[in-house]
Amino acid sequence: MTAIFTSRPDVNLPVAPLLKPVTFAGLPLASRFVMAPMTRFHSPGGVPAPEVAGYYRRRAEHGIGLIVTEGVWVGHPTAGHEDTVPRMTAGAAETSWRRVVDEVHAAGGRIAAQLWHLGSLREPVDGLEAWTPSGVREPGRPASHAMTLADIDELLESYAEAARVAARAGFDAVEIHAAHGYLLDEFLWPFTNRRTDAFGGSPQRRAALPAAVVRAVRAQFPADRPVIVRFSQFKERRFDAQIAETPAELDAILTVFAEAGASALHASQRRFWQPAFPGSGLTLAGWAKRLTGLPTITVGSVGLTRDFLRPGGPESVSGLVERVAAGEFDLVALGRILLRNPAWVTHAAAGQLDAIVDYRKSHEDTYH
């Protein structure tokens, strides 16, 4: 794949090392930049609207090497409740996703589908309680249904079917959402996983259900296309939560993912530059790569203001590039800054800081 910016005269800009082509888990990309998944509510009835294809294409046209879609619900009744969040199901949704994939490919980009189940965050509509590992009632949340072994089998088939649909739609990769306190992450988190069977207890056993999802997806998705797992310590409702208190516990979890067939890991932090554990400067993505040897993506408050593009401390572009150059992680995901700035990479590559709009919360209500 040809890099978009190789002929630019301003290759000495700090961001330049991130603009070169790279191969990630066997997938050739135009740059090291990833678009992080962000729910956009433009899929009535679970079917991506026509404008969704253009939305993702614009980011690919401006140098994002890998698009990761917003979270897409697997086709199970308990996966989610909002009517405008997309699903990965056969029929109209699959056809619409094919249009999205074709538009991204036409722009020279690659695209991964993020497969998602809300878990306890699903509202109890349609007479269905949310599915959770142990039925733990979290503060401010309604009662939930503790999953049985039969439920787990049913869930695995839903993920397998979603992988089949994603493959037919032409996605270059899939990402399994096992972060931020949603269902798969609830199995990883000791607070919500109180099970005493093979899916609870030690870090390895808490990882068993997400790993079974990895195996189910891997078995149905083409072997030459990556299966990525997104994970985190923090939860949307508990920033101080941890699935692993030590690198050894993280190793136990991530090794189970790797053995199940994960091709790469997407380590979500609130701030990408912060150390994951005391006593080491390594980030969560850095630990993931060191422990498993798998390629990794970092994400967390990258580029939210123009000041990021001015050389500075560890939270700046220079600190980010230093970590990439050292091999700490491989790809860099941009999230909220892309909501209002689809051409962020183009402007950053040209040093056009004045063309970039600093992120504001109101941008989440826009669709450019």
The CATH number for 47's domain is: 3.20.20.70
Cα 151 to Cα 147: distance, rounded to the nearest angstrom:
6
In a domain, 202, yes or no: yes
Which residues in 264-295 are b (16+ Cβ under 10 Å) and which e? bbbbbbeebbeebbeeeebbbbbbbbbbbebb
Counting as low any pLDDT under 70, the low residues of the chain are 1-12, 140
Q: Is residue 230 left, alpha or beta, with left meaning phi > 0 and alpha meaning psi from -120 to 50? A: beta
Q: Look-up: residue for tokens 């860099």? A: 332
Q: What angle do CA 247, 199, 257 make, to 5 degrees?
A: 45
Residue 64: the pLDDT is: 98
In a domain, 51, yes or no: yes
Rg (CA), the chain: 19
In a domain, 206, yes or no: yes
In a domain, 8, yes or no: no
In a domain, 141, yes or no: yes
Residue 12: the pLDDT is: 57
Q: What angle do CA 252, 293, 111 make, to 5 degrees?
A: 105
Residues acting as catalytic residues: 182
**Closest C-alpha among 193, 188, 299 to residue 249:** 188
Q: Residue 359 is part of which domain span? A: 16-365
In a domain, 5, yes or no: no
Containing 96, the helix (H) or strand (E) segment is helix 92-106
Cα 20 to Cα 101: distance, rounded to the nearest angstrom:
23
Cα 145 to Cα 154: distance, rounded to the nearest angstrom:
14
Q: Look-up: residue for tokens 């967390």? A: 300
In a domain, 11, yes or no: no
Report the number of distinct structural domains present in the chain.
Answer: 1
Q: What is the pTM of this model?
A: 0.95
| Torsion angle in degrees (nearest 10) through CA of 23, 164, 88, 267 | -40
Contacts of 124 (CB under 8 A, 6+ apart): 130, 142, 143
Whether residue 143 contacts residue 129, with contact meaning beta carbons closer than 8 Å, is answered with yes
Whether residue 217 contacts residue 286, with contact meaning beta carbons closer than 8 Å, is answered with no
Beta-strand (E) ranges in 156-223?
173-180
**Closest C-alpha among 332, 275, 355 to residue 64:** 332
In a domain, 263, yes or no: yes
Residue 142: the pLDDT is: 75
